[in-house]
């Protein structure tokens, strides 16, 4: 008993690292400090870590939520000095080194070192009234809500007697031509044309109209132009209509307007922009237009070396001065750097500045095609799709055996199990 009390007292004297957010960045910090002499508290609004790159598959009924999420407690369960708490941040007192929370049993937590990795949400570029009409895709709740809208559209079209309304129900408009928009458009097309085609009697799901809208001049602007062109051709083969150079001017309950063009639809999906969390406001920090906190080249808040800000929450620049993209590999890389920096600081060593190493861009187009850009290597088609799947498994955090996971996912993705097509929460459906 005395030994236990001594161990507890020793642990209490250890530096306390408070990690806000259990995404790729936050959990990479925690895992990197596994053997460090620190106490760690992880706080998140949800009890699970989410593999966001595959959210679109939940939204299009390809996978169930449990296949792309894992409980945070199970991920850190074998780390005795890690405590997990549910909570929503309301403010940060940098002078007193306290984080305040709302609607939780614990009102505030002190810290010696703070890691802010609270991610980002949707940005509607000043049109927040579009939120309920064109949901975005950031959480499991978003994905199941969009899945419900898509599947209900087909169900309602089956019983609709007005041809004009039936056409609206069978038209799906995705706003944003980045990876999420491209992946959503391809997945909805395959859902309609290959999966639901024989399930209905009065309508023909294969005749559904899928429109992908992009304000810029090409799809996948972060990719090389030849890969953007390939994605355009691949989507057209899936009968997806593309509108380039077409900024959205209005979203209404029954249409999306592109200037003078009116796209009649009951289902619009937003994939056009993101806004960082409120971290800049909590910290009283300088931020860019997307709300990302401007950090030093050590990923710390200026004048506050005890506060690290990473992932989608931070404006981090690469060696060329360009903003580091908001990708899972980038967040993990920053998380590993912060863990190393904390270990070095505790041992009295200096830490070099953060240097981002871009691992490449990936996007899937349907079930057997993808585009990959890894430095000078550019791949398309089935081989790219297989590498896309392998890369996603490689970046898993805390999931069970990766070989089992990839088999389960690939089987579910290719077979398209019926369980993922359940319509739930209809009482809460908003059209």
CA distance 399 to 392: 12
CA 168/CA 253 separation, integer angstroms = 10
> Residues 401, 382, 63, 232: is their CA dihedral positive or negative?
positive
In angstroms, rounded to a whole number, what is the distance separating the alpha carbons of residues 385 and 190?
Answer: 15
183 is a catalytic site residue:
yes
At residue 396, what are phi and psi to the nearest 5 degrees?
Answer: -60, 145
Q: At which residue do the structure tokens 């000095």 appear?
A: 81
CB 358 within 8 A of CB 374: no
| Tokens standing for residue 334 | 């920053």
Classified as helix, coil or strand, 331 is: helix
Among the listed residues 67, 88, 183, 225, the single catalytic one is 183
Q: Where are the beta strands (DSSP E) in 183-239?
A: 209-214
Q: To the nearest 10°, the Cα dihedral for 70, 64, 428, 264?
A: 130
Rounded-to-integer distance, Cα 60 and Cα 146, Å: 8
Q: Which residues are catalytic?
A: 183
């Amino acid at each position: 008993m005395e030994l236990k009390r001594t161990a507890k007292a020793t642990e209490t004297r250890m530096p306390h690292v408070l990690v806000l957010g259990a995404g790729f960045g936050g959990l990479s910090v925690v895992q990197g400090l596994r053997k460090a002499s620190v106490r760690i508290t992880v706080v998140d609004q949800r009890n699970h870590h989410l593999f966001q790159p595959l959210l679109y598959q939940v939204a299009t009924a390809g996978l169930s939520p449990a296949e792309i999420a894992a409980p945070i407690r199970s991920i850190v369960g074998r780390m005795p000095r890690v405590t997990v708490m549910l909570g929503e941040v309301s403010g940060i007192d940098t002078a007193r080194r306290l984080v305040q929370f709302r609607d939780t049993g614990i009102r505030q937590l002190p810290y010696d070192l703070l890691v802010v990795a609270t991610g980002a949400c949707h940005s509607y570029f000043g049109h927040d009234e579009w939120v309920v009409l064109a949901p975005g895709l950031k959480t499991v709740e978003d994905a199941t809500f969009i899945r419900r809208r898509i599947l209900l559209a087909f169900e309602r079209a089956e019983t609709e007697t007005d041809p004009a309304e039936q056409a609206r129900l069978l038209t799906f408009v995705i706003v944003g031509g980045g990876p999420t928009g491209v992946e959503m458009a391809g997945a909805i097309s395959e859902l309609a044309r290959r999966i639901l085609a024989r399930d209905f009697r009065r309508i023909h799901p294969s005749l559904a109209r899928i429109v992908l809208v992009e304000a810029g001049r090409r799809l996948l602007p972060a990719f090389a132009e030849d890969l953007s062109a390939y994605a355009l051709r691949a989507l057209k083969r899936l009968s997806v209509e593309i509108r380039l150079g077409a900024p959205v001017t209005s979203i209404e309950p029954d249409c999306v307007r592109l200037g003078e063009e009116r796209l009649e639809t009951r289902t619009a999906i937003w994939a056009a922009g993101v806004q960082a969390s409120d971290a800049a406001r909590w910290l009283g920090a300088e931020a860019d237009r997307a709300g990302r906190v401007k950090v030093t080249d050590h990923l710390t808040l200026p004048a506050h070396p005890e506060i690290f800000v990473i992932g989608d929450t931070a404006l981090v620049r690469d060696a060329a001065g360009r903003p580091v993209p908001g990708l899972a590999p980038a967040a993990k890389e920053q998380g590993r750097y912060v863990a190393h920096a904390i270990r070095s600081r505790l041992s009295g060593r200096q830490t070099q500045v953060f240097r981002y190493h871009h691992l490449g861009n990936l996007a899937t187009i349907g079930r057997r095609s993808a585009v990959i850009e890894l430095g000078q290597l550019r791949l398309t088609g089935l081989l790219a799709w297989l590498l896309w799947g392998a890369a996603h498994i490689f970046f898993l955090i805390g999931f069970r055996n990766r070989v089992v996971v990839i088999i389960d996912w690939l089987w579910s993705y290719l077979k398209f199990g019926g369980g993922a097509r359940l319509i739930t929460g209809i009482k809460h459906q908003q059209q």
